[in-house]
Structure 1
Amino acid sequence: MVVRSELSDSEVDRLFRALADATRRDIVRRTLVAEASVSELAVEYDMSFAAVQKHVAVLEEARLVTKEPRGRERIVRGDPEQIGRARALLVQLEDLWRSRFAQLDDVLADPSPRSSPRSSPRSSPRSPGVDVRSRRSSARREPNVDPSTRSTRHLKET
């Protein structure tokens, strides 16, 4: 299942980058309830007016809010349609993951063995029936040998 969206990848990136900040999410929430000027929004935050303007600009770029001049003020209004698009994308992703988990549940619920004894993780394809862990532990018990000696020994054997 491929998640399809009416938004381009760059639009989705802008949308979720904008929503990644708590202040911007709060601005969206407030402007969906009622329109507000940038000045009215700025009063509520412990930051400069310019910082709030930048947050609004990021939201406007993501099309989560619209800004229109009214006299000397800029009125900010939330865009519920864009929020709906974000929600639809998240629902598609949720459906994808639920589907994958359902498939995993089906695999885990099936009691039939899926592998043959030959492909058991404990046996080696080169030496059937030999426990890999026992080979490793015997390799560890080998006396400390200088690596240069080991390579020389290897050359003499061949």
Structure 2
Amino acid sequence: MVELSPEHLDTVFHALGDSTRRRMLHDLAAGERSVGELAAPFDISLAAASKHIKALEKAGLVRREVRGRSHLCRLEAGPLAEAHAWLAFYERFWTDRLDVLERLLREDARKDSQSEAQKGAKTSEGDQR
């Protein structure tokens, strides 16, 4: 796996930072689409759709091929794997933090149970007198 340069990773995250482009990538995951097909779910012109596709191309996430008068796009998932690998570091960070939180909550619940049991025992003793 070739690691992306920080500048290229910035370009990938910039491309992913827009909901229209994320939806286009999602649609491309199902297979090749024309620019018109990618623009169809949105209330945007073909020129605006083309600008979004250019941002995806710049990030290496999309490859556009011209066939006659049609511009067909396909997903290039390699940069997504690199972005995922970068995010995985933080996934481990949060998983570790959540594991600590879970342990503390379990300890707190155990202490509360013991405290309630002790209160119940004292109440039972008082009732017997």
TM-score for both structures, normalised by structure 1: 0.57
Identity of aligned residues (%): 39
Q: Per-residue deviation at 1:93?
A: 2.3
Deviates more, 1:77-86 or 1:30-39: 77-86
Match of 2:112 in 1: none
Return the structure number with greater relative CO, CA threshold 8 A, min gap 6. 2
Of 2, 13, 16 in structure 2, the residue corresponding to residue 16 of structure 1 is 13
Of 24, 27, 32 in structure 2, the residue corresponding to residue 27 of structure 1 is 24
- SS for the counterpart of 1:55 is helix
Supply the distance in 2 between the matched residues of 1:29 and 1:104 (Cα, whole angstroms): 34
Runs of 4+ in 1 over 6 A off after TM superposition: 100-106
Note if contact 1:32-1:79 (Cα within 8 Å) is conserved in structure 2.
no
Whose helix proportion is higher, 1 or 2?
A: 2
Of 21, 40, 43 in structure 1, the residue corresponding to residue 40 of structure 2 is 43
Please say which structure displays the higher CA radius of gyration: 1
Q: How many residue pairs align between the two structures?
A: 106
Supply the distance in 2 between the matched residues of 1:41 and 1:101 (Cα, whole angstroms): 39
Note if contact 1:34-1:77 (Cα within 8 Å) is conserved in structure 2.
yes
5+ residue gaps, structure 1, are 107-158
Match of 1:68 in 2: 65
Supply the distance in 2 between the matched residues of 1:9 and 1:76 (Cα, whole angstroms): 26
TM-score for both structures, normalised by structure 2: 0.69
Letter in 2 for 1:30: D
